[in-house]
Amino acid sequence: MTQEDIIIAMAKEAGLWPAVTDTFPKELETFAKLIAAKEQDRCCSIVFSQCESDNVAQRTVDAIRGKA
């Protein structure tokens, strides 16, 4: 599933498809990316607060962010 597929699926689930996506496709994509980044940051902060080892935490955070 591509990022565009995910955004479309989310828009459909939220009842925004096709009305908002036809009018504001780029804005909707930007909004979805902002939400994903915020959620990713939240997950990473939880990892750092729960891991006993900074090394394990960093590897986990790198995996979450797609850097692993």
pLDDT recorded at residue 21: 64
Sorted by where each begins, the domain ranges of the chain are 3-64
pTM summary value: 0.63
Backbone angles phi, psi at 58, to 5 degrees: -65, -40
The stretches of 14-53 forming alpha helices (DSSP H) are 19-23, 25-50
Q: How far is CA 40 from its chain centroid?
A: 6
pLDDT recorded at residue 52: 84
- Tens digit of pLDDT per residue, the chain (68 long)? 777 787 778 888 888 877 776 777 788 778 888 988 999 999 999 998 888 888 888 999 999 888 86
